Structure 1
């Protein structure tokens, strides 16, 4: 098969890029899904998008290719390029120009009128077997309405279509906002597509924590956001990150969460079969199939809001039992920023000033173990740490003792 840069099935490319270039660092010999030729075709296709960000290493298993990106040096997420490489059939391209040219006068026409005009004004001028049936044209018209290229209106029993580009948004005035949105928002691929319509992309921003891998999940993210907006259930095909097996879960999607430390994205939904709230990692979801409108959506949303009050991250611990955590912090004169940070980062916890130089943070969460990385950032200021789950305090002091031993201390105190 001849090599082509364009793709039809993005799901296959998404899985390939993640397994080989992001997580796996696998070699050519470890690719057993298809033939070695398929490996070479996919590798060359990805290299055409990301060649300047690819590196390799040689070991006993062979040559492993992987991505190497310095967030300080890139203004735009390079993984968006893969989402812009969708292929089209000859009929797709031909029909695109026929429709936009036919409706360029601003008039609204029915699908039947459009089919007749395409035959009379365009196809009749060529010799060949190329033909378009009314069903194909109707599908394309509905697709373009969904994309916003056309709008539809009912006239009697017929649906008529016309172009919507008579009022164009001046994107140049939004270039700075688009440049920031495209890199910072989970749905930033939309901003990237809009930036492509400008003469030159803005090169204004750099990010200390630049999470680019979410780009591979953009299509699924948009499907889930649409399902949430329309209050519909979804059926998810999920590949286990542990054993590679596929699972199917039907859920009512309620909210999307993004980790501030890793940029990893999660869907929180009501799992019908388990009859409980559950998190699903977006990078483990293979497909999203939208279902019917959920009549009990408000009830599930209320459950989600109550559930969220005791979340620190996305772990629910064992049996949804709550851990009570208290941390007393001491700060010196001129260090009010410590209290300000506690207030800013407390999430669902609370902060109480004990005296001029002491404050206490407290929270009731499903899994206090998740809080340990955050708690450790206050080492040197912690006066007391208490938790209803003794494992949390024990782990904290054990880690502190190990760190102190590494640097020659005795590890007896918190401060």
Structure 2
């Protein structure tokens, strides 16, 4: 089969890009899903999108290719290119222009009228074997209606369609907002597609922490958000390397999307119908999403979430949702009021108590106190006392300090 840049199934491309170019750094010899020709075709397809953002290294196992970008220098997320390479049949392209032309200038036509017009006005003028039937046109019109390109209404007993062209929106006026949205929003690929319609893309934005990998999960995330908006349950297919690549299926009710400000990783918080408890799933491990029935009692999950998140620091629920108490006494030097401001801003489910002009106590009751360690370490040098009901957390903190002292030298006096 000849190589083609266009793709039919994005999920296959998503999986390949993650395994070989993002997380796995695999080589050609490790591709065992299909033939080596399939590997070569997929590699060339991805290189046609990301050729300027790829690097490789050579080791005993062979050549490994991976994505390498400087987030300060790229004009936009290069992974969005994968969404713009969907393949179409000759009929898809032909019928698109025929339908849009027939419905131009405010025309409104039924399915039967469109079928007859395509045959009489267009196909009769060409020596072609292409034929059109009512079922094909009906599917195409229904697809365009779901995309917002067409609007349908009842005219008597038949359904008629018209174009939804709206020329009142000045895209240039929204250019900067769209450019920022395309790089910062979890489904920024929508903004990237809108920017493609403009003659010039603004280069006024630069990002210190630019998490581009979430782009590969845009389709899954969009389907989750649509189900949440409709109050529907979800059937998830989970495919994670941690479980040996075995697919698992879960029926859940989606509640919230969590996005890490440290790594950009995205999580789905949901209620699991079989396990009868809240669970987090990494969105990059979700292979596919299918919307289920509308949850008639969806309002009850709002109240459940309000209670659940009172002790949630990150995305870990610890062991059987056992509550752990963390307490930190922090010294605030003169002219360091910003430390107290930062505590108030970042306390999440915790509380800040001012003891005196130079001392405050931060406390929190959380499901997993170990999750707090990366944040707590940012106060090293100001921590006067550290206490936790989980002794392992304290031991880990001091072991990390000792390891750091062994590397950098000096006295371990960061905490009394």
TM-score by length of 2: 0.97
After TM superposition, the structure 1 stretch with the greater mean CA deviation from structure 2, 351-360 or 224-233, is 351-360
**Root-mean-square deviation over aligned CA pairs:** 1.2
Say how many residue pairs are matched. Answer: 415
CA distance in 1 between counterparts of 2:312 and 2:374 reads 15
Match of 2:400 in 1: 399
Q: How does 1:16-415 map to 2 (within 5 A)?
A: 16-242=16-242, 243-414=244-415
Instruction: Give the deviation of 1:412 after TM superposition.
Output: 4.9
Structure 1, unpaired ranges of 5+:
none
Q: Is residue 258–residue 267 contact of structure 2 (8 Å, CA) maintained in 1? A: yes
Q: Is residue 401–residue 411 contact of structure 1 (8 Å, CA) maintained in 2? A: yes
CA distance in 1 between counterparts of 2:197 and 2:414 reads 59
Moved over 3 A (4+): none
User: Secondary structure of the residue that 1:122 maps to in structure 2?
Assistant: helix
CA distance in 1 between counterparts of 2:73 and 2:193 reads 21
- Cα deviation, 1:109-148, whole Å, max 9, x if unaligned, reads 2222212222221122223321121111111111111111
CA distance in 2 between counterparts of 1:3 and 1:402 reads 52
User: Secondary structure of the residue that 2:187 maps to in structure 1?
Assistant: coil
Instruction: Give the deviation of 1:183 after TM superposition.
Output: 0.6
Instruction: Give the deviation of 1:207 after TM superposition.
Output: 0.9
Q: Is residue 401–residue 410 contact of structure 1 (8 Å, CA) maintained in 2? A: no
User: Secondary structure of the residue that 2:248 maps to in structure 1?
Assistant: strand
CA distance in 2 between counterparts of 1:136 and 1:54 reads 41
Q: Is residue 258–residue 266 contact of structure 1 (8 Å, CA) maintained in 2? A: yes
TM-score by length of 1: 0.97
CA distance in 2 between counterparts of 1:239 and 1:59 reads 28
CA distance in 2 between counterparts of 1:238 and 1:310 reads 27
Instruction: Give the deviation of 1:405 after TM superposition.
Output: 3.2
CA distance in 2 between counterparts of 1:158 and 1:314 reads 51
After TM superposition, the structure 1 stretch with the greater mean CA deviation from structure 2, 99-108 or 305-314, is 305-314
CA distance in 1 between counterparts of 2:223 and 2:410 reads 53
After TM superposition, the structure 1 stretch with the greater mean CA deviation from structure 2, 107-116 or 234-243, is 107-116
Q: Is residue 235–residue 249 contact of structure 2 (8 Å, CA) maintained in 1? A: yes
Q: Is residue 111–residue 159 contact of structure 2 (8 Å, CA) maintained in 1? A: yes
Q: Is residue 239–residue 285 contact of structure 1 (8 Å, CA) maintained in 2? A: yes
Q: Is residue 71–residue 208 contact of structure 2 (8 Å, CA) maintained in 1? A: yes
User: Secondary structure of the residue that 1:25 maps to in structure 2?
Assistant: coil
Instruction: Give the deviation of 1:357 after TM superposition.
Output: 1.4
